[in-house]
């Protein structure tokens, strides 16, 4: 990098950990479903739920580059950004660009929807997500089909995501992957330094995400009576 740049922290640890967890979890979720390892599939699905919830909370109170408010832009900004893509300008702000911001929302949204559908899905062996008992058989059938469709849509968006990253790496000569691993990047001096959130904020976000996930995993009881009821029959008993 030229001398008119300096090394700065771009992505904080939660953003990076969550990102690479997605990359590991998604193939595992696919594999466990394909191979009938439904017990593990549901456990990993709940982990995915926890990660998505945490990332959404972190999008509200995390570091500046993690916040939705900092990277979700209006359509005019997005279009003028995309028009300018062919020019070889250097970046004007740190973090997700106007187009990338929407792909983050899309990816997180699709993950959230698909986890939600998985929670009410069922298979012919009577293996069910922890909220399946709240919906009818036919609703669950539909949710199960959408759960599969949702995964395929997610795959398509991920292909696009990776294609975009390759485009930046090789065409725009902007290597996005190393900062997603190390957290730091050489930023032009004209760009304001991202503000990292204090580490303690991880704790409340983690607690909320874990509590919500646990509550969903026991069937989302809404009364104390329901809460104190014996746990639901564990499908793994006969698998």
Q: How far, in Å, CA of 66 to CA of 14, rounded? A: 9
140 contacts other proteins (rule: CB under 8 A)? yes
* x/- letters, 87..126, toward other proteins (CB under 8 A): -----------------------------------x-xxx
Alpha carbon distance, N-terminus to C-terminus of the chain: 56
Q: Among 33, 57, 108, 127, which residue sits at the site for ligand HEM (rule: CB under 6 A)?
A: 108
Q: Give how far the C-alpha of residue 4 lies from the chain's centroid of Cα atoms, to the nearest Å.
A: 34
In whole angstroms, how close is the CB of 112 to other proteins at the nearest point?
24
128 contacts other proteins (rule: CB under 8 A)? yes
Q: How far, in Å, CA of 76 to CA of 230, rounded? A: 54
Q: Give how far the C-alpha of residue 19 lies from the chain's centroid of Cα atoms, to the nearest Å.
A: 7
Residue with tokens 């899309």: 106
Q: Choose one: 22-30, 97-105, 111-119, 230-238; the region binding other proteins (CB under 8 A).
A: 230-238
- Whether the CB-CB separation of 41 and 32 falls below 8 Å is answered with yes
Tokens matching residue 13:
């640890």
Q: Among 36, 126, 204, 232, which residue sits at the site for ligand HEC (rule: CB under 6 A)?
A: 126
**Which residues of the shown chain bind other proteins in the complex (CB under 8 A)?**
36, 122, 124-126, 128, 132-133, 137, 140, 148, 219, 223, 225-226, 228-229, 232-233, 235, 237-239
**Which residues of the shown chain bind ligand HEC in the complex (CB under 6 A)?**
124, 126
């Amino acid at each position: 990098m030229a001398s008119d740049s300096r090394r700065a922290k771009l992505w904080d640890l939660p953003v990076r950990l969550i990102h690479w967890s997605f990359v590991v979890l998604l193939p595992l979720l696919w594999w466990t479903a394909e191979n009938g390892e439904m017990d593990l599939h549901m456990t990993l699905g709940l982990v995915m739920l926890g990660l998505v919830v945490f990332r959404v909370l972190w999008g509200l109170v995390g570091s500046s580059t993690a916040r939705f408010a900092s990277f979700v832009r209006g359509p005019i900004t997005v279009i003028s950004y995309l028009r300018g893509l062919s020019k070889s300008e250097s970046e004007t702000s740190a973090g997700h660009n106007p187009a990338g911001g929407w792909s983050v929302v899309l990816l997180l949204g699709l993950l959230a929807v698909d986890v939600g559908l998985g929670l009410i899905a069922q298979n012919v062996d009577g293996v069910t997500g922890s909220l399946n008992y709240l919906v009818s058989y036919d609703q669950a059938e539909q949710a199960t089909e959408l759960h599969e469709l949702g995964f395929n849509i997610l795959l398509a968006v991920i292909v696009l995501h990776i294609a975009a990253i390759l485009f930046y790496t090789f065409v725009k000569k902007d290597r996005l992957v190393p900062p997603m691993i190390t957290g730091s990047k050489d930023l032009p001096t004209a760009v304001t330094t991202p503000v990292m959130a204090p580490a303690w904020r991880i704790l409340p976000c983690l607690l909320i995400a874990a509590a919500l996930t646990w509550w969903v995993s026991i069937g989302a009881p809404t009364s104390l009576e329901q809460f104190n009821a014996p746990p639901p029959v564990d499908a793994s008993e006969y698998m």
